[in-house]
Structure 1
Amino acid sequence: MKPSSSLQKRLGLGLTLGMTLLWLAATVGAWLVVQHELNEAFDSALEETAQRILPLAVLEISNRESPRDAQHVAPLKVHKEYLTYLVRDAKGEILMQSHDAEPKIFRSQPAEGFSTTEKYRLYGASALRETVFIEIAEPLGHRREAAREALVALLLPLLALIPISLFGTWMLVRISLRSVLAYRRAVEARGVGDLSPITMTHLPAEIAPLAEAVNHLLERLRKTLEAERSFTANSAHELRTPLAATLAQIQRLRHEAPEGPLRLRAAKIENSLRELTRLSEKLMQLAKAEGGGLLSETPQDLIPLLAHVVDEWNHSSGQRIELQLPAQTSVYSTIDPDAFAILLRNLIENALKYGATDQPVEVSLTDQALLRVVNGGPPVPEPVLQSLTERFVRGSSDTSGSGLGLAIAKTIAQGVGAKILLISPATGRREGFEVCVWFPLASITDTQRYGK
């Protein structure tokens, strides 16, 4: 699944990019207008210069002794000319030229008006009934340089505008989405079993209906789950008394019945009732696991709880459980003691029931709150291993069972924020089955530890 991108990031980058593109478009438009106006100004300067120089040139040529002789106009001081000119007659003979003028850049025959070559912009004018012509040339590079400087002047503010716009947009979006981010944190902080409404204020009008719909959905889901848990718990509880009474009657009937088919049939009914009793107990545990109360208000030391449950099972199973505790004296977690006992009993019962009878069950706890329950036996196939934590799913063993033990353990682990993992073959072995549960560690102060 492709990870979703941040709305804050998309808005910040999108708005900044949009503003930058608009600025660039405006800059290009302004530059085109400036370039057009510059060309008009330069053309006007060419025309005005020709109109001013031509009468002076005609007067100068008329006062010469030899009017047809070409003459260079000497400059007052050496300088680079942006505008150069030629004064010619109608046949193209040069009568006067500026000191930097290159005749080859002009047209072979003088003409009036504007024209453009590869590198120059030209303007021509005439006097004395088109007998004397003046042409002024301006390098196009001069115009390009002016247009380029104007473009740079327009673009330079953009270099400062982009980071300022990015920062300003980012801050504005962050402030605007502050309530949305708080709502997201409130949702993320929810525990697995917390279905209470999420109270948030100052949400944007676009998000508020969504938050309200989520609260309605949580309320409907909570009522549905409560009804299911209530039915499961009540059914299991109501079955305990009639099951116990029926089991007692069957046991009495079995003892009173004579040897033969009737006693065997009574024994089978007794075994079925015992299985049904265990199933009702599992259903009550499942209802507790799916309900609240899995977390303790104060951190609990797991070591004495673990030792107590293992000791109980060793008394009833013939000392088949080997317990290994960490070197440190305490391992604290926030799981409720009853919930921890239910989880541990189901894991141990599963290991004793389905593991090899000639091998012990290993139970260990590390200082990082890792609980391991390992039993012998043939390895469990991978497809079966992945489904063992589902309700009423059992392995390929012929041993009877409800198929709820690992499902209850998984539900409790998820409810307290723990991680559960099934491994087969067991770690470091070629066979066996292993369940690992990583409980969240809790830090505890001396007051909490010794205050009571």
Structure 2
Amino acid sequence: MWTANSLRAALIGRLVPALAVIGIAGAAAAYALGERYANLAYDRSLSDDVVTLAGQLALREGKVRVDLPSQARKWLLANEGERVLYRVIDLRDGTVLDSIGNLGAWARDAEPGGAVQFRDVTVEGVSVRVGSLVTDVPQTEVPVLIEVGETLGRRQRVTRQVLLGSLLLFTLMIGAAVAVIWRGTQVALDPLKRLAEQAAKRSGANLQPLELALAPVEVRALIEAINLMMARLSRAMQSQSHFIANSAHQLRTPLAGLRLQAQLALDEAQTLPLRARLLEIEGSARRAAHLVEQLLTLAKAESGSLGMMQQPVDLVELVRQVIQRLLPAATLKDIDLGYEGQATTAMVLGSEVLLGEMLSNLVDNAIRHASNASVVTISVAATPEGFTLKVADDGDGLPPSVMENPFARFNSIDTVAGGAGLGLAIVKEIAEQHLAVVSNQSAPHRGTEIAVSFRAALQGSSSWP
């Protein structure tokens, strides 16, 4: 992903400008070198033309003649569309013996001998490269100045081609560098991606250290800091769970005693007002005992103390057991509680105790919130990944305030209905410990439906698929 905080974006954002500067500098250097070597090549050709023209000079009757046949003249002037000029000057008196075009002023202090000299001149607004040679007419001591010039079109075309080729090369190099960095960072960050996937698959109670060996050396300090933080958080959560569990255990006995005393007092109460108060006391003690049991279950689920046996559990058989246990409570409210589905077995891996507690909470919530003479349906369906367990009722559904986060602890609608407000929170915790996904599929005013999606158990395996 290309974002402002992306490592790839940072690397490429720093590399591309640097490579662009290098590319511009390289292109400028290539242009200068291209211009230099183009001049050397074409100057050599121009020098050959000067020497060739010098070989066509002869002295006849005391006068220097340019013996240049028409074919030789055509060859000399034919230069790939470039304009070729030349001039031959008798240095004894400065007479121009032969010329084509205007080459401007000539160097009057030129000395005989030496190599061809080059200069750039501008004639009638056109740049011309001129090669000059001072030499004697063959077999005489008569000095002459021979100049051959040509326009710079060929040289400029070659230089531009070198420049364009260099720019294309550097552009391809920058593109290749970006691709290499893009792929390189992807490969380098793959271990972090695997760590992220590993962490994402964990339940909220799994605070085991991340595998340090998977991380690149440069980020191991960060992973170590995260592991230390998770260790501190794990200790804090264990301390909290132990406190809740110990408190729940301590409250069990007095609450049981309170309920027993209230029930005994009900047997002896003679007046209706007194019986009403005792019934309220017994109901409050029953709800408090239920809250204590839920707190204890949640603490055990979070700490994993109930144990993940990681053995095959048949969801269909578990549904049958839960229906059998909660059918009396459903019958009291004239609720039709039943199973619906074609699956006869649905094997998943996990703890039968925890999964039974999870399903019991789902069904108990549905019975508590459903109105009299309604329907609560449990279903198990096969999916490509495994199985989906659903508990649905045809009641009024969840209010909008609860729909946003029905798995929050101490849910207000659950506490109003006489529950502890922890049922769906326990469902979510147990589902996450089984690597299952719990979701609210309810629709407003169309009942409540909670689904838990499991992965199927591998045949003959006692580990997670």
TM-score by length of 2: 0.76
Select 2:417's aligned residue among 379, 382, 399: 399
1:194 alignment partner, SS class: coil
- What pairs with 1:73-112 in structure 2 (closer than 5 Å)? 73-75=69-71, 79=75, 80-81=78-79, 84-87=84-87, 95-97=97-99, 103=101, 106-107=102-103, 109-112=104-107
The one-character-per-residue Cα deviations of 1:136-178 (angstroms, maximum 9, x if unpaired) are 2223122123324545775787698678767876776677667
**What letter is aligned with 1:194?**
N
- Work out whether residues 88 and 95 of structure 1, in 8 Å CA contact, stay in contact via their aligned partners in 2: yes
SS of 2:382 mapped into structure 1: coil
Match of 1:274? 286
Q: Could you tell which deviates more after superposition, 76-85 or 137-146?
A: 76-85
Task: Report the CA distance shift for 1:11/1:357 in structure 2 as closer, same or farther (over 3 A).
Answer: same
Q: How far 1:326 moved relative to its partner? A: 2.9
1:396–1:159 CA distance, 2 compared to 1 (3 A):
closer
Gaps of 5+ in 1: none
| Residue 252, structure 1, aligned to residue 264, structure 2 | yes
- Residue 368 of structure 2 corresponds to residue 353 of structure 1: yes
Partner of 2:121: 115
Deviation larger for 342-351 or 216-225: 342-351
Residue 419 of structure 1, aligned match among 437, 447, 463: 437
Q: Against the structure 1 CA distance between its residues 256 and 184, is the aligned structure 2 distance closer, same or farther, given a 3 Å change threshold? A: closer
Counterpart position of 1:383: 401
The alignment yields a C-alpha RMSD, in angstroms, of 4.3
Counterparts of 1:229 and 1:114 in 2: how far apart (Å)?
Answer: 93
Q: For residues 94 and 162 of structure 1, do their structure 2 counterparts lie closer, same or farther at Cα, with a shift above 3 Å needed?
A: same
| Preserved contact between residue 71 and residue 95 of structure 1 (Cα < 8 Å) | no
SS in 1 for 2:413: coil
The CA deviation at 1:283 is 0.8
Tell me whether 1:239 sits opposite 2:226 in the alignment.
no
Q: Matched residue of 2:98: which SS? A: strand
State the partner residue of 2:113: none
Q: Does 1:408 align with 2:426?
A: yes
Which residue of structure 2 lines up, in the alignment, with residue 30 of structure 1?
A: 29
C-alpha distance 422-150 of structure 1, shift in aligned 2 (>3 A) = closer
State the partner residue of 1:308: 321
Matched, 1:144 2:156: yes
> Match of 1:436?
450
Equivalent of 1:214 in 226, 234, 246 = 226
Check the 8 A contact 1:54/1:127 in 2, yes or no: no
- Cα displacement (A) at 1:194: 1.5
Write out aligned runs for 1:324-339 (5 A): 324-339=339-354
Contact 1:70 1:94 in 2 (8 A): no
Deviation at 1:217, TM superposition (A): 0.5
1:207 partner SS: helix
Q: Cα offset for 1:182?
A: 5.5
Matched-pair contact (CA < 8 Å) for 1:50–1:135: no
Aligned residues: 431
Question: Which shows bigger deviation, 140-149 or 41-50?
Answer: 41-50
Please give the alpha-carbon distance, in whole angstroms, between the structure 2 residues aligned to 1:250 and 1:324.
37
After superposition, what is the alpha-carbon deviation per residue over 1:56-96, rounded to whole angstroms, capped at 9, x for unaligned? 67x64x536777x9875544596434783322669999632
3-state SS of 1:123 partner:
strand
Say which is worse superposed, 371-380 or 150-159, in terms of deviation.
150-159
Counterpart of 2:87 in structure 1: which amino acid?
V
What secondary structure is seen at the aligned counterpart in 2 of 1:395?
helix
SS of 2:310's equivalent in the other structure is strand
Name the CA shift for 1:384/1:200 in 2 (closer, same or farther; >3 Å).
Answer: closer
Q: Which moved more, 1:161-170 or 1:331-340?
A: 161-170
* 1:2 shift after superposition: 8.4
> More deviation in 278-287 or 403-412?
403-412
Distance in 2 (alpha carbons) for counterparts of 1:243 and 1:121: 112
Instruction: Report if the CA contact (8 A) 1:347-1:406 is conserved.
Output: yes
Q: Distance in 2 between matches of 1:64 and 1:398?
A: 134
Tell me the residue number matched to 1:63: 60
SS in 2 for 1:440: strand
Helix, strand or coil at the partner of 1:197: coil
The alignment partner of 1:362 has SS state of strand
* 1:188-233 deviations in Å (ceiling 9; x for gaps): 5544421112232385443121011011001011011111111111
Output the amino acid matched with 2:379: S
The answer to whether the Cα contact below 8 Å between 1:343 and 1:409 also exists between their aligned partners in 2 is yes
**Which amino acid in the other structure matches residue 436 of structure 1?**
I
Displacement of 1:379 in angstroms is 4.1
- Deviation at residue 247 of structure 1 after TM alignment: 1.7
1:223-249 Cα offsets, whole Å, 9 max, x none, are 111111111111111111111112212
Q: Could you tell me how far apart the structure 1 residues matched to 2:259 and 2:163 are?
A: 98
Structure 2 regions of 5+ residues with no counterpart?
108-118, 136-142
My pick for the range that moved more, 218-227 or 262-271, is 262-271
AA aligned to 2:450 is: C
Partner Cα distance (1:202, 1:335) in 2 = 28
Q: Deviations over 1:31-56 (max 9, x none)?
A: 13313423663686588569757876
Task: Note closer, same or farther for the CA distance 1:372–1:199 as it changes in structure 2 (3 Å cut).
Answer: closer
CA contact (8 A) 1:324 1:363 kept: yes
Alpha-carbon spacing, 1:16–1:295, altered in 2? closer, same or farther (3 Å): farther
Q: Is the 8 A contact 1:179 1:202 kept in 2?
A: yes
Bigger CA drift: 148-157 or 229-238?
148-157
Question: TM (normalized to structure 1)?
Answer: 0.78
Letter in 2 for 1:365: V
Q: Which of 345-354 and 114-123 deviates more?
A: 114-123
Structure 2: distance between partners of 1:441 and 1:268: 45
Change (3 A) 1:322 1:49: same
Would you say the 8 A contact 2:252–2:292 is kept in 1?
A: yes
Separation (CA, whole Å) in 1 of partners of 2:449 and 2:184: 50
Name the aligned partner's letter for residue 433 of structure 1.
Answer: G
AA aligned opposite 1:240: R
Residues 174 and 351 (structure 1 numbering): CA distance in 2 closer, same or farther, change over 3 Å?
closer
Contact conserved, 1:120 with 1:139, CA < 8 A, in 2? yes
Structure-2 separation of matches of 1:2 and 1:361: 49
